[in-house]
Homo-oligomer: A and B are copies of this chain.
Amino acid sequence: MHTDVMGYDPLAERLTALRRELHRYPEPAWYEYRTTCRVIRELQQQGIPVLYGRALHCPKAMYGLPDDHGEALQRAREEGCDEKLLAQLTGGYTGCVAVIRGDQPGKTVAVRVDLDCNRLAESGDEAHRPVREGFASHHEGCMHGCGHDGHTAIGVCLAESLWARRGELRGQVKIIFQPAEEGAGGAASMTAAGVLDGVDIFLGMHIGLGLEPVGTIAASAYGFLASTKMDVTFHGRGAHAGLCPEEGRNALAAAATAVTNLLAISRSGQGASRVNVGSLVSVAGRNVIPSEARMGVETRGETETINAYMESSALRVCEAAAAMYGCTVEHRIMGRAGSADCSSALAKRVCEFLGRQPGVIEVVPAFHFRASEDVTTMMRRVQEQGGQATELMLGSAIAAPHHSERFDFDEAVMPLAVRTLTQLILTLVE
């Protein structure tokens, strides 16, 4: 029993408080300055060793890294982050790794959680719990709409829990707090920097995604969609829209026709495919033919072949849309995630373990993921080295779909995750 006679569970309280604080201050990919500082401070207060800074990243693999960090840093500063710590993170070198060494030699287990939020405006509706209970986003246009706030809170408390039981632990555990999952570059950068080197057993995790209620846990996942993120910019020529519109090269018209025809790329008979234009920005006066338009685009595929088909089709559509309006176009790949398979032996072992755990009401051997996750990059790195990897799916009822403005989840998933993972890791390293 984790609760006292009054039904009070201190771990649950702590997780909820931490998650809600993180929910209030969401930070998008590569801007997780406050979040990283917060995690480091929590861990260091317990005496847990933490790695952070440039050594955790490989600049060439920091896909989607924005150019300007001034504003994000300034905000983190105003929100109370330590100036010295920030200096080491500046430039997008966010995220950290907690390292808990057991008293006895043994295997290396890595657990990965992600830190970043979505570029999404949170609902202001009273019916939305974060609004009603006062923990809605304070950062305009940013929202934890995918549960990474919960993942981070779980990561912190899992580190603390393992630290407390390090006497029982063989080998070592790395809790990897990864930035930039939504931008698809964080895992590539950390992996290229060697963060996964030497890992024997890798555990990813995700809450929700349709699995519910709390107590339902999947031991592995399949159907990760391979994905490509890109920025596309159309260049045209401005002109007076009344006097001589025919002199213009309408970059917005090119982009608009690209949007519609990107969505119209033929589905593949080989499996699931996706394409999305998440943003389009073209700004000129109402009486000026717009000379530039920028789009954020993403393609996905059930296999890397399907994603390659979607990516090349998307580029063809953009080229043709530009040509249609006498414009030019350039694109920049901002991230790529592959597909991956969970290690079946590990999944089986986890499955059997879960079947015996208190609080676990149903164990799903393999969950159909249906989305992209750059955790696949880490999983494949571990497997290439001869290690084993799986992605745990933690059931939790959600208030609205992931990445939607009313997303919220059942916080009871968090203490169950911390307790189950602690026990699982102690078991796996035996």
List residues of A whose CB falls within 8 A of some B CB: 28, 118-121, 141, 145-146, 182-183, 209-210, 225, 227, 229, 237-248, 250, 252-253, 255-257, 259-261, 263-264, 266-274, 276-293, 296-298, 300, 309, 316-317, 319-321, 323-324, 326, 334, 370-372, 401-405
Structural contact, A146 and B245, CB atoms closer than 8 A: no
Q: Measured between alpha carbons, how far is A240 from B250 in the docked complex, in Å? A: 28
Structural contact, A278 and B241, CB atoms closer than 8 A: yes
Question: What 18 new A-B contacts, CB under 8 Å, besides A118-B288, A247-B401?
Answer: A120-B291, A182-B285, A229-B286, A238-B403, A239-B404, A240-B371, A240-B403, A245-B267, A252-B278, A253-B259, A256-B256, A260-B260, A263-B264, A266-B289, A278-B287, A278-B289, A279-B285, A316-B326
Question: Which residues on B sit within 8 Å (CB–CB) of A298?
Answer: 241, 286-287
A-B contact pairs, 18 of them (CB 8 A): A183-B286, A227-B242, A238-B405, A246-B267, A246-B268, A247-B404, A253-B260, A257-B257, A260-B261, A266-B289, A267-B272, A269-B370, A276-B286, A276-B289, A277-B290, A281-B283, A287-B372, A321-B324
Structural contact, B245 and A285, CB atoms closer than 8 A: no
Structural contact, A273 and B267, CB atoms closer than 8 A: yes
Q: Measured between alpha carbons, how far is A403 from B287 in the docked complex, in Å? A: 8
Question: Which residues on B sit within 8 Å (CB–CB) of A118?
Answer: 284-285, 287-288
Contact partner of A146 (CB less than 8 A), chosen from B182, B240, B246, B284, is B240
Structural contact, A280 and B266, CB atoms closer than 8 A: no
Contact partner of A242 (CB less than 8 A), chosen from B28, B225, B240, is B225
5 shortest A-B CB distances, which residue pairs? A263-B264, A320-B324, A256-B259, A241-B276, A240-B403
Q: Measured between alpha carbons, how far is A284 from B238 in the docked complex, in Å? A: 26
Q: In the complex where A28-B285, A283-B141 touch, is A261 in contact with B257 (Cβ < 8 A)?
A: yes
Q: Measured between alpha carbons, how far is A244 from B229 in the docked complex, in Å? A: 18
Question: Which residues on B sit within 8 Å (CB–CB) of A324?
Answer: 261, 316-317, 320-321, 324
Contact partner of A120 (CB less than 8 A), chosen from B253, B256, B288, is B288
Question: Which residues on B sit within 8 Å (CB–CB) of A296?
Answer: 285-286
Q: Which of A271, A278, A319, A321 has the most CB of B within 10 A?
A: A278
Q: Measured between alpha carbons, how far is A96 from B128 in the docked complex, in Å? A: 49
Q: Measured between alpha carbons, how far is A297 from B407 in the docked complex, in Å? A: 33
Question: Which residues on B sit within 8 Å (CB–CB) of A282?
Answer: 279-281
Contact partner of A243 (CB less than 8 A), chosen from B264, B269, B285, is B269
Q: In the complex where A260-B253, A370-B269 touch, is A287 in contact with B243 (Cβ < 8 A)?
A: no
Contact partner of A284 (CB less than 8 A), chosen from B120, B209, B334, is B120
Contact partner of A145 (CB less than 8 A), chosen from B250, B263, B288, is B288
